[in-house]
Amino acid sequence: MTKRNLLLLSNSTIHGSGYLEWAAQYIKDFLNSKNVKHVLFVPYALLTMDSYAEKARKKFALWGYQLSSVHQAEDPVGAINSAEAIFVGGGNTFQLLKSLYDNKLIDPIRKRVLEDGVPYIGSSAGTNVSTISINTTNDMPIVYPPSFSALALVPFNINPHYIDADPSSKHMGETREERILQYHEVPGTPPVVGLREGGLIKVQGNTAQLLGLHPARLFTPGKQPEEYPLGSDLSFLLK
């Protein structure tokens, strides 16, 4: 049985609130349950890493936690290997994944999370890279990582910021649902959770629960999309 402890957020900010405010209690409860005092931040999804890390540092300090950033560590692998908890922030998923490969952090993060039970928090792009691949990101490929294969902390994919089609819209481009269904035309693709803004999935070992503010939409190859209400047990996705 895996030791993973994950908090996978669709996004960091919702309309009308500040950075991580909507998820504050979930984050604090998650970290406190593991007696975490110090969080290692991974800011690779943005190029403005110094200011991004400072933004995260100020927020976590308000909650009573210390936060350091892996991009300021002399030895990024060593920083991961000694981390009490890991928080991977949002931004551009391609930029994030390329930097994780460039800094040789894919395997160390996987080991720390799956074998050592180090708590992992992901937001948006940080949630994307926790899954099998980044194929269901919404981001533009501004850089080219060596692979779209990601951390595979869970055996499914997530589409953060999932948006439902507006029946009154005159926009003729593909809806988010249509894009995910196109992805599932490729043989062997995994289920995809459409995680609306303000939604999160909490994973402990082999259990997963949908929490946050909104229900989620599940896309499974060969099946019609399904709605899952808040509180739903999503543990079947981990099998």
User: What pLDDT digit, counting tens, does each position of 82-99 carry?
Assistant: 999 999 999 999 999 999
Coil/strand/helix, residue 127? helix
Domain residue extents for the chain = 5-238
Domain 5-238 listed as CATH 3.40.50.880: yes
pTM above threshold 0.85: yes
What is the residue-averaged pLDDT of the chain?
96
- Of the listed ranges 11-25, 146-160, 168-182, 190-204, the one predicted with least confidence: 168-182
Nearest to 118 by CA among 238, 31, 4: 4
Residue 14's identity, in one-letter code, is: I
Of 12-16, 112-116, 157-161, which range is least confident? 12-16
Cα atoms found within 13 Å of the Cα of residue 14, Cβ hemisphere only: 17
What tokens were used for 123?
A: 């937001």
Is 50 among the residues known to form the active site? no
* pLDDT above 90 as % of the chain: 94
For position 1, what pLDDT does the model report?
Answer: 55
Q: What is the pLDDT of residue 166?
A: 78
pLDDT of residue 174: 83
What value does the mean pLDDT take over residues 149-165? 96
Question: Which position among 124, 130, 133, 184 bears the catalytic label?
Answer: 124
Q: Assess whether 171 carries a catalytic annotation.
A: no
Q: Which of 123, 133, 161, 184 is catalytic?
A: 161
12, 69, 99, 139: which one is catalytic? 139
CB 178 within 8 A of CB 198: no
Residue 124 catalytic?
yes
**Could you tell me which residues come within 8 angstroms of residue 209 by beta carbon, excluding any fewer than 6 positions away?**
201, 202, 231, 232, 233, 234, 235
Closest by Cα among 204, 12, 222 to 125: 12
